[in-house]
Every structure is written in C-alpha cells, then in structure tokens.
Amino acid sequence: MAVPILKQGQYLIATIQSALSDVDLTHLQDALVGQVGKLRSRGVIVDVTALDVMDSYASRTLRDLAHMIRLRGAETVIVGIQPEVAFSMVQLGLTLEGVSTALDLEEALLHLGQKTKRPQQRDKPS
C-alpha cells in the first residue's frame, strides 16, 4: 500500500496508514528523498501513529531516511510512536539515534518551525 505524501507549505507530511511491507517502506524512502529536492522542502514529517508494530527493518529505514533527508538539506521528525511500540523498540535496541521525534503532528510542526526559522528569515528580503 502506497503512502500518500502531502505538501504543506515548506514541509512534506507522510502519514503511514497501515502496516507496510519492506518494499512499501523502500518506496516511501525513495519518494520522500526525491520530493524533498524537487519541492525544496525544509522539513519532512513521518506520522506512524497507525503502526502498532515497528520491526528492525522499519526503524532502520526510518533512521536512514532521516539521515538521507538531512544530507538533502531538510529536517525529519518522526511522529506518533505508540507507547508500547516505543518501549519494545528500545528493548530491541532500535532507538532511532540522531532522529527527532515528536508526540503528534502539531508538535512536529512547532519543532520544525523552530529548527528551520533562521534560513527562513534569511530568505526574506531585508
């Protein structure tokens, strides 16, 4: 099942709506990394609220995704990890190191707003 990617201002929002196969995940990764450059986005939000399992492949893909997007000049926030999922991930040693996380979409937008503030101001003509 493909994941819809929505453009919202300077950000891209991908909401995962059901369990994803490894292939779907790779597709999502490719699409996001591509779109970030094409749409000149400053931030990417991946919403995983609907996931009640997160295996090692998924969390590694998300981590790599975040690192790739940073290389493309944008920030990534993973949003809505369920409490149970969070704890089992940590027990498996999948801690998404170096990746920003937030409670929900609103938080993530705030977070990205703070992180991408300066470049935005620089863009404005003085």
Partner 1 sequence: MADLESSFNQLTEMGESISTLLRELVAHLRESRTQLRQEWARRITEAKLLTAMSADEVFNEATAVYDQYVEALETGTFEALQTYARNLSERIIPRGVEIHEVVGIVLLLRDVLARSLFAKFQGDFGKLNRILDAYEPAANRIANTVAVGFVQERERIIREQQEAIRELSTPVLQVRERLLILPIIGVIDPHRARQLTEQLLRGIRTNRAKVVVIDITGVAAMDSNIANHIVQTVEASRLLGATVIVTGLSPEIAQTLVNIGVDLGKMTTVGDLQGGIEEAERLLGYKVVPTEEQTQQA
Q: Kindly tell me which of 25 and 45 has the beta carbon lying closer to partner 1.
A: 45
Rounded Cα distance between 73 and 114, Å, is 15
Min CB(72)–partner 1 separation in Å: 23
Q: Kindly tell me which of 15 and 35 has the beta carbon lying closer to partner 1.
A: 15
Min CB(36)–partner 1 separation in Å: 22
Which parts of this chain interact with partner 1 (CB under 8 A)? 78-79, 81, 83-87, 89-91, 95-96, 101-104, 107
Q: Where are the alpha helices (DSSP H) in 1-126?
A: 22-38, 56-71, 83-91, 105-115, 117-123
How many CA atoms, within 13 angstroms, populate the side-chain half-sphere of residue 39? 21
Rounded Cα distance between 80 and 97, Å, is 17
Q: Kindly tell me which of 30 and 64 has the beta carbon lying closer to partner 1.
A: 64
